[in-house]
Amino acid sequence: MHEKTIAQLSASLATGEFSSEELTRALLERVERFNPSLNAFITVTAESALAQARAADERRRQGAAGLLTGIPIAHKDIFCTDGVRTSCGSRILDRFIAPYNATVVERLNAAGAVMLGKTNMDEFAMGSSNETSFYGPVRNPWDLDAVPGGSSGGSAAAVAARLTPGATGTDTGGSIRQPAALCGITGIKPTYGRVSRWGMIAYASSLDQGGPMARTAEDCALLLGAMAGFDLRDSTSVDRPAPDYAALLDQPLTGLKIGLPKEYFGEGLDSAVARVVEDAIAEYRKLGAETVEISLPNSHLAIPAYYVVAPAECSSNLARFDGVRYGHRCENPKDLLDLYTRSRGEGFGAEVQRRILVGTFALSAGYYDAYYLKAQQIRRLISDDFRQAFAQVDVIMGPTSPTVAFNLGEKVDDPITMYLSDIYTIAVNLAGLPGLSLPVGFVGQRPVGLQVIGDYFTEDRLLNVAHRYQQVTDWHQRAPTAFA
């Protein structure tokens, strides 16, 4: 059962090959067996998962089942889940029990999905390797000495190891696409505002976006179909109908114009990764697509702009964690100032503290214009580059990450080098565009991802482009030997 995709599981449940309860038990057994070596889950909700599965089976008997009814999934531990710990990978929220469900959780519950548990993540989604979690690093199923990518590394590792057929993630600067690439799965960051952020604990409010992670584009289409849509409770939600993503997957690619940014294929890209990506692009030409060289001249400014904007927003968003209302509180504070400083100092890890300090400095009197305002101006230039590119092409392609997964501990003491892991993904968030990563090969035993970027609200096109490739290749079917 664990070898099947969401689409295949849905078909098997519909024919009665097995029940949701049987499927859920089988996957919970895999989680119990393999999670100790992967550390992909922070919390496993076995009892409630089985209750949800039994309810899904009853729903099916009554003839009220949908495509996701009875399908087990996992949620990144950044989405609030009613009555279940929601930690954000941080000590400061280690004992926080959310009193409500995030909209994403609500909608997937309504679609009949079964929650297996909450997945590990970089603390408050700040990281590119899933090594900043209070609960320890996640390991890559393809090589347990390697990182899975971050911040949605727990979700990516759980899907790649066949512990769950699908999972939710969030993407602030590449945190769905980069771990999807490093773990050999498919993940899509929708257009900013397409998926509600209500109940998703904020890192950088103008950049964060939730999305699905699964083995195939078809599975991502099914999950995104349930997740997407307007939400009155989210002021950043866009009131625009979402199409039936699954119905549009099989469109031919004849005449598709693919832009290849020269900036994505130059210095900094590992030569072996480049060869794999170029082979994938050649496959698209066989499918009838045309490639055009384009330029995104301000892309080299994406990382410095991002690391002003995102920390500035995080310094504001994380001010609420003060040891007073909820979350970690220090022991025996001398006064209010001591309560604040020790609670936050004990509760936040080093990377979170670093970004809060950077953000507070960028927003401080005398530096706002020099840093934050300038970063926002650069953000506009980056958006303009994409706008001009999409006047010429339908989608943009390039590597998701400049390298394959690196070893645990390799970059943990060098934050600048770590930040460069997201060099090809960050600009997409700054512009608010949709982006997808799909597996296209390996360098040694470690997967390589291809990034496909689309114009605003063209998730259907991205999923179609990925699906057509997956129909003629089998990279998405490969499983790590130890978890097959």
Q: Which residues carry out catalysis? A: 76, 151, 175
The helix/strand/coil state of 188 is strand
Report which of 476, 448, 425, 466 is spatially closest to residue 209, judged by C-alpha positions: 425
CB atoms inside a 10 Å sphere around CB 252 = 11
Environment class of 4 (CB within 10 Å of its CB; exposed 0-12, middle 13-18, buried 19+): middle
Q: Quick one: residue 332, left, alpha or beta (phi over 0 = left, psi -120 to 50 = alpha)?
A: left
Residue 43 pairs with which residues in a beta bridge?
118
Strands 395-399 and 166-170: unpaired
| Total count of residues recorded for the chain | 484
Rounded-to-integer distance, Cα 116 and Cα 41, Å: 9
Residue 252 pairs with which residues in a beta bridge?
none
**Residues 6 and 165: beta-carbon distance below 8 Å:** yes
Strands (E), 71-144: 72-76, 114-119
CB atoms inside a 10 Å sphere around CB 319 = 12
**Residues 296 and 477: beta-carbon distance below 8 Å:** no
Measured CA to CA in angstroms, residue 420 lies from 301, 381, 424, 425, 476 at distances of 12, 20, 9, 10, 26
Rounded-to-integer distance, Cα 422 and Cα 246, Å: 29
CA-based end-to-end distance of the chain: 11
- 436: which residues sit within 8 A by CB, 6+ positions away? 177, 186, 187, 188, 189, 217, 220, 451, 452, 453, 454, 459, 462, 463, 465, 466
Report which of 215, 183, 164, 167 is spatially closest to residue 405, judged by C-alpha positions: 183
